[in-house]
Amino acid sequence: MNLHELGPAKGSRKRRKRIGRGPGSGHGKTSGKGHKGLLARSGGRSRQAGGFEGGQMSLIRRVPKHGFTNVFRKEYSIVNLKSLGDMVVSGTITPQALVDVGLVKRKSLPIKILGNGDLTKAIVVQAHKFSKSAEAKIRAAGGRVEVIPGV
């Protein structure tokens, strides 16, 4: 066997289908698209994706529209005073301490303390926001509220 005799394995190379090149090509006239219908038209396949349902009223147009989404809404990780009372930490409760204990799952969100539950020990709580009742209960227990800026 010589180098000039080498070639690809039989059946490994296939010529591309050249459609619309006359009756001698075997793919002339309708060019493999059949007769009429959506798929025979130019640009006919593009509507198959998305919300096209064969001419039936699409789902997005059938479902009733209502409500409003406020794009400026600020989302917080919420922690209740009841949960803070169960923590055995004395001194300062920081956002990192809340993450370590598992009271806050998403570190990316700011933390808000709500006044659900009671507090018995005096603690210093650092958070981004406090409800008025939470602030009053922390101060009544002899603790202190520290608001973290930047949110």
Closest by CA position to 114, among listed 99, 136, 96: 136
* pLDDT digit string, tens, across residues 74-127: 999 999 999 888 776 667 899 999 999 899 999 899 999 999 998 888 899 999
Please report which confidence band the pLDDT of residue 48 belongs to, taking 50, 70 and 90 as the band edges: low
Domain presence at residue 34: no
Domain presence at residue 36: no
- The CATH code of the domain that includes 118 is 3.100.10.10
Cα–Cα dist 30/21, whole Å = 10
What is the domain range of residue 112? 77-147
Number of domains forming the structure of the chain: 1
Domain presence at residue 60: no
Domain presence at residue 3: no
Please give the structure tokens belonging to residue 128: 């981004």
